[in-house]
Chain A
Amino acid sequence: MDKFDRQVRIWGTHGQHIIETSHVCVVGSSPFAFEIVKNLALPGIGCLTMIATNSRDLEQNQFWNMKTWNVTQIDWNAEKMGSDVFWSDFELIIITTGQNDVLKVFRQIKSPPVLLCSTSGQNGFVTFLSGEPHFVVESHPEHTIPDLRLGALRSDLSQFYSEFLKNTVCISDLPFAALLYHACENVLKEKKPHQVINRHDLKDQINVLQNKVSPNTQLPNFFEALRFAHLALERTETLPENVIRCLALKDVSCQIPFNQNVQTLLRALSSFLDTPYSEGQLPLAGIIPDMESSYEMYTALRNAYSGAAENDVKIFHNLVSSEVSHIEIDQVKSFCRNCRHINVIEPIGKLGDFESVLNDETTDSTIIKNVLHSCLSEALKKEDKRRFYPCISFVAGIAAQEAIKVLTHQFLPLHNTLVYEGELGRLRSIKI
């Protein structure tokens, strides 16, 4: 495992397992195609197949000794490769050529997800095609908001907080979450029913509490309570937009096992949200941030959240099991922990749809068209344009990067086309 240590730290051993058991096909044999193969062989793609569309290329690329990377090389065969069956074993197909006979096949067949990409001179593009939505459970957001639900506490948690405070003699050691709960309670006492708490009232109340226990010095936990007061005002009962988008796609037809599993989990999520227990809220993440507090109090709070989250997983797992049997508890756990951040993108459905957009007279369409057509021409001059290495290295790096994201269903992949205009050093992400 040591060889992959530096990348396992990004996508985990489960991500690495997916990579090592994936079948990927690269169509094309230009230096660009070889670069992509190299970039996929390095992180450990289990099975790589390369289809040569131009035998002249193979002789010229002896630099890459494919044997050391266990890559299967075969020649393009329009007859054999013209049916769905040939392609169905691959999890991902990367098409690096605009050759007509190749594209013709892909216009007709139903294929696994495709990355279509190429370079010419200093320009290049990458685009993501798939007949079904692409779900991402672990989107690895850069910043996460602590999942405390203080704005709309479920009854199990509010029960915990109220007992916790009942047993607290002195509030000077309370973690900020409990302080916020306490302050909200006090504010509500003075309000009429159905009046909402505003930030100003809440901060005043925190200062009142602070003055009672320590009038002269600012205690760190009260400082945190002021800093994170917004967490108590968040309306957690409404679902995030990304979750709503995912739920809307829970019943569309999907063939990819990962997507099918996510859809099963989404259907279970939908039932979960309908149970009175959940009060319409997502399962808890069960992880709380560090807080200034006494050890005992912090531990009690942490256990309350992790306990409630475990309970959610149990209930959720029962809902899943009532529909299918093959989803393991670990998958349910990961889904519950990440469900606030699940996401979905809808790639371009068909190659034909992509090609029809290219007829528009925009800069991006023109670049893509020219890049694609440079592969068509048999003329040596144009073919040579595809051998400008810095550009090849750059775009092939991006293509392989996106391939890894698509395969692991971690991180959001491109949505859905990148165009690189090398002369100006511009890379644009566009949605077709």
Chain B
Amino acid sequence: MSDTSSVNQRLLGSENYQKLRNSGVLLVGAGGIGCELLKNLVLMGFGSIDIVDLDTIDLSNLNRQFLFRHRDIKQPKSTTAIKAIQHVSNSKLTAHTANIMDVETFPLSWFDQFAIIFNALDNLEARRYVNQMAQFLHKPLLESGTAGFDGYIQPIIPGSTECFDCTTKETPKTFPVCTIRSTPSQPIHCIVWAKNFLFAQLFASSGSTIGDGDLGTDNPEEIKRIQQETNELLELQEYVRAGDESKIPEIIKKIFVQDIQKLLAIEELWKTREKPVPLPDIEVDGIVNTDLSSVWTIQEQVNAFVLSTQRLMKRLPEEGQIEFDKDDQDTLEFVTTAANIRAHIFKLPLKSLFDIKQIAGNIIPAIATTNAIISGLSALASLRVLNLIKNQPEAKAQELNMAFTSKASNISSNRYISNPQLAHPNPKCPVCSIARGVLHVSQEALKTTTLSELIQKIQEKYRFEGEVSILDKSTQRLLADYDFEDLLDKTLAELNLKHGIILSISDESVADEVRCTTEFYLDEVKDAQLRLPNIEVPLVKVIPSTEETDDAVGAIESTASGEIILDALEDKNEKKRPLEDEESSSSLPPSKKSATTHDEGVVILD
């Protein structure tokens, strides 16, 4: 590879190339974009590359993650990727099979060693986390993602350009509990019911939290029914655990006949809605349809429901519990058929197993070519961010570009890629508009410092004039505010405040100007007792909380070309952008008379 390095040297210039050789970079994610990007970074000649991924390789990765082969299935992605590329590498390569959000393995100080961070992630939660770390450390971050033919890159320069959270991101879709449990009006409601409620109750460990808390309905009869139903299901769980296959007809009768009859008895529900019809008696004849892309008849659904239940019951004693996995045919068939039988009962359209797999598994289409395009762009942008391009004046952060590939079908319209310049940080961004610093603390100090002492120190050092509130962001736990003082005398250790925790301090005084909200990352060290960072906590004008109107004007430009798209490294991650099913993504509202919907008591399709 000496050949490649001489090329890079010539193209970048000796001095820049030397800088590149001396730089370490962090690549988060070894999936679709990660594999491509790792190759690009290696062939560019970065001094060292650390790659982090907690996932293992799956068959459906092999259509694009070119460093993996069939024999690598079930192996960790990060180590396998490095093994596959080592022989051409002139960089120090380190693999980490771990969660990037694990503060023990990856404390904030660990992130500090890198010149730049590349995000090649597939979920919002980790993207947000890395973004936050970059903000703490003022590290440049290259964010990227793809979905089908679409993709984007976004360089983030803390303090100068907008961060990942400056624009609102699409979050998982939620549904009121009552819609899922009593009054489904779209096929998706039946799929959520089958996956998150029925399957979870019968086979998974956790059971379901659906049914606790706010149900999203005020109808007392309905609430009572939902609670009863949860208890009755415990009985079914017993049948399933006992492995008695002769009870399967009873299970069918209970969930598809009796439960529906009980719902019908609540007349209030059906005044404005179509009434469901309990499943008629169906003789199970064991004939299954093997065409996974067709919509099966109700007879075939029931047959397949029985067979998949049998298979799951057989597996249960050995496995203890079974989690839904879109690539586990038994669980997928159970959820598909249960959802379709329920859809049939509620007179909603049925769907094929192939389609339900996409919805229940939050599958985002993914192809090799888009990943190649995006990782090429990401690598090119990093050279610009690090100012390593020969004969180019130092780029100001604002002169950098983000890039979106335009929809595949619009290609003939002169805009294969749109690359707007980066926007300024959004002054209302909850992540990058606040002050940040690292609070160094020894184990000793954690044990001896009380919460009130810490608050006092903070107030003095940063001149908070009035009351403050203090929040443990990692658990979203309020530790103290003006009328909550119970914990003030506890020590930090007693409050379980330790390494990696982020504390958020807000000025609660009633004034026109208050101290900016400040976040402290707790860094456990040996030498320091308790050392507050030397940071400026500016006074900010209190903005009356009104509807969002004029803010983020700069941001709109950059997101106009498309929603945030996440790289699909199909895996167990739970915060992916859920795909909308066809009905709901059309420009038209959902069907039939769906009465009142409620804002609260929601079920998240994870």
Contacts and interface: CB of A to CB of B under 8 A. Distances in A.
Interface of A: 2-7, 9-10, 13, 35, 38-39, 42-44, 60, 62-63, 68, 121-122, 139-143, 146, 220, 224, 228, 289-295, 298, 345, 381, 384-385, 387-398, 400-401, 404-405, 411-415, 418, 422-423, 425-429
A68 B66 CA distance: 11
Contacts of A405: 408
A85 to B, nearest CB: 31
B525 interface: no
Given A6-B60, A7-B365, A385-B7, A390 B40 contact: yes
B297 interface: no
A220 B594 CA distance: 9
A3 B60 contact: yes
A391 B380 contact: yes
B372 A2 contact: no
B184 to A, nearest CB: 13
B361 to A, nearest CB: 10
Contacts of B380: 122, 390-391, 394, 422, 425
A36 to B, nearest CB: 9
Interface string B60-82: 10111010010000000000000
B4 A429 contact: no
Interface in B40-99: 40, 43-44, 59-60, 62-64, 66, 69, 87-88
Interface stretch (B413-421, B460-468, B475-483): B413-421
A173 to B, nearest CB: 8
B593 A398 contact: no
Interface in B345-371: 347, 357-358, 363-371
B148 A10 contact: yes
A43 B62 contact: no
Interface residues of B, number: 76
Given A7-B63, A42-B62, A292-B593, 7 more contacts: A43-B369, A228-B588, A389-B39, A393-B36, A398-B369, A415-B411, A429-B411
B248 interface: no
B235 interface: no
A62 B88 CA distance: 9
Contacts of A139: 409
B416 A427 contact: yes
A294 B372 contact: no
B455 interface: no
Contacts of A427: 416-417, 419
Given A289-B586, A289-B588, A414-B416, A384 B365 contact: no
A160 to B, nearest CB: 20
A146 B3 CA distance: 57
A79 to B, nearest CB: 31
Nearest to B400: A425
A394 B365 contact: no
Given A140-B408, A427-B416, A393 B376 contact: yes
Given A389-B4, A423-B389, A428-B414, A2 B589 contact: no
Nearest to B592: A295
A68 B367 contact: no
A417 B88 CA distance: 33
Contact of A44 (B63, B363, B408): B63
B249 interface: no
A13 B592 CA distance: 32
Given A6-B570, A290-B588, A13 B7 contact: no
Contacts of A228: 588
Contacts of B408: 140, 401, 405, 411-412
Contacts of B413: 429
Given A291-B591, A298-B592, A3 B63 contact: yes
Given A389-B4, A400-B369, A401-B370, A290 B376 contact: no
Contact of A398 (B60, B62, B416): B416
Contacts of B568: 6
Nearest to B355: A9
Contact of B373 (A60, A397, A422): A397
A265 to B, nearest CB: 21
Given A42-B368, A220-B593, A392 B63 contact: no
A20 to B, nearest CB: 12
Interface in B367-388: 367-377, 379-381, 383-384
A396 B365 CA distance: 20
Contacts of A7: 63-64, 365-367
Contact of B365 (A9, A224, A381): A9
B333 to A, nearest CB: 15
B368 A43 contact: yes
A413 B583 CA distance: 28
B8 A39 contact: no
B113 to A, nearest CB: 23
Contacts of A294: 274, 592-593
Contacts of A140: 408-409
Contact of B371 (A10, A44, A397): A397
Given A7-B365, A401-B369, A423-B389, A384 B6 contact: yes
Contacts of B401: 425
B414 to A, nearest CB: 5
8 contacts: A3-B60, A7-B367, A62-B88, A295-B592, A391-B376, A401-B367, A412-B412, A426-B419
Contact of B274 (A290, A295, A384): A295
B23 to A, nearest CB: 15
B348 to A, nearest CB: 9
Centre residue among B372, B407, B593 by max chain A CB count within 10 A: B372
Contacts of A146: 588
A395 B376 contact: yes
A390 B41 CA distance: 8
A33 B602 CA distance: 51
Contacts of A398: 369, 373, 416
A412 B389 CA distance: 35
A42 B63 contact: yes
A44 B367 CA distance: 11
B290 interface: no
Interface string B397-432: 000010100011111111111010000000000000
Contacts of B364: 6
B587 interface: yes
A142 B586 contact: no
B586 A4 contact: no
A171 to B, nearest CB: 15
Given A6-B367, A6-B568, A422-B380, A394 B409 contact: no
Nearest to B42: A389
A422 B401 CA distance: 12
Contact of B60 (A2, A38, A220, A425): A2
Contacts of B8: 388
The 10 closest A-B pairs by CB, nearest first: A394-B376, A397-B372, A397-B373, A393-B376, A390-B379, A415-B412, A401-B369, A42-B368, A290-B591, A389-B43
